Amino acid sequence: MSSPARFRKPPLLPVIAALALSTASYFVWSSQPRRLSAEPLGTPPATQYSQTVAAVGLVEPASENIAISTPLPGLVTAVHVAAGDVVAAGAPLFTLDDRAARAMLAVRTQQVSAARAALTRLEHSPRPEDLPPLRAQVKAAAQALADAQVQQDLIEEVDDPRAISREDLLRRRIATDAAAAQLEAARAELARVEAGAWSADLAVARAALELAEQERLAAAVDLERLSVRAPRAGTVLKVNARPGEYAQIGALAAPLIVFGDTGDLHVRADIDEQEAHRVSAGGAAIASPRGAADTRVPLEFVRIEPLVVPKRQLTGDVAERVDTRVLQVIYRVQPGAVPLYVGQQVDVFIDRTQMRAVALGQP
């Protein structure tokens, strides 16, 4: 009869594997997010139209945002406005360092005075004091000619040719001719001065005065350009210029001043290109500010921008493409509506039914 079988222990490796699998399953289960039911932070926006086209809108001034820059680079010395100020057209916004421009304007002004004085001198010539000396010179030249003529006549009246030399006779004749030439020159000078300024000299002087005045005007324009003014009546929305900073020219990432006419506010609605075919001119729309879904602001159609542009406002939806292009429709916020602020995002709902009626010519 055989000996009894030995007691066999269970295999150790399958037991370890089973424990590891159980532990891993527990950690996987415990790391799963627990989805708890929670109420939304706010009521989502809703439309009141039976057929609608939804869009994301941005509040802007009726003039759109005007990025104020400077025509000349320079150091900002004074800022005359603050955000929120309502200014008239032409009101100063900020000023650049104008010391060099003021000095140049002073130089140009003096040049104008000098050119005007030179023209006045020519226009009023001759002076009364200029004529008596010239007349005296003419009289003296006439007397000198008479004296030379007498000396020549005395020599020529001598009958004996041996009493005088031929050289003396020639010298007397040359002296008479020279005296006659001097008298003619004195008379010509007197006539020139009595005739006044030459027309060509007057034309040159007038041209020099005009050139000096234009240079002074250019210097005044350069000085005026250093004071940046409001292009129209409106509101200062943002001020990024400060005294002591250097203002650059051109389009800046942060404009020196953001300006706009906030008398009427507009809403620029971005409609997805896939929905663009459903939009036509006319029709009513409403806007709900972000965080106030129960508030409905009536909008009035203004225009449709003819150019489809890349979308810049992102809603945060994970399914939204960054390369989406949008059709922009402009609406005016009707007076008396809920206060809105420039740059504020709103949800826009466009009445598709009314747009179709307008397109078909129906009341």
Q: What is the pLDDT of residues 48-98, one digit of tens each?
A: 777 788 889 999 999 999 999 999 999 999 999 999 999 999 999 999 999
The residue with greater pLDDT, 184 or 321, is 184
DSSP state of 307: S
Structural domains in the chain? 52-62+262-360 (2.40.30.170), 105-221 (1.10.287)
Cβ(352)–Cβ(284) below 8 Å = no
* AA identity, residue 291: G
Q: Is 272 helix (H, G, I), strand (E, B) or coil?
A: strand
Q: CA nearest 285: which of 5, 106, 48? A: 48
DSSP 3: P
Distance CA 317, CA 322 (A): 10
Contact 279, 53 (CB under 8 A): yes
Q: Residue 197: is it exposed, middle or buried by C-beta count within 10 angstroms (0-12/13-18/19+)? A: middle
pLDDT at 153 over 50: yes
Nearest to 183 by CA among 144, 147, 150: 144
Q: Is the C-alpha dihedral spanning 277, 283, 286, 287 positive or negative?
A: positive
* Phi/psi of residue 249, nearest 5 degrees: -90, 165
Range picked from 10-14, 160-164, 175-179 for highest mean pLDDT: 175-179
Weakest-pLDDT range from 24-28, 112-116, 191-195, 277-281: 24-28
Radius of gyration from C-alpha coordinates of the chain? 49
Res. 171 pLDDT band, cuts 50 70 90: confident
The two three-digit tokens of residue 89, written as one number: 């057209």
pLDDT at 11: 67
CA-closest candidate to residue 105, choices 223, 207, 269, 265: 223
Indicate whether 358 pLDDT > 50: no
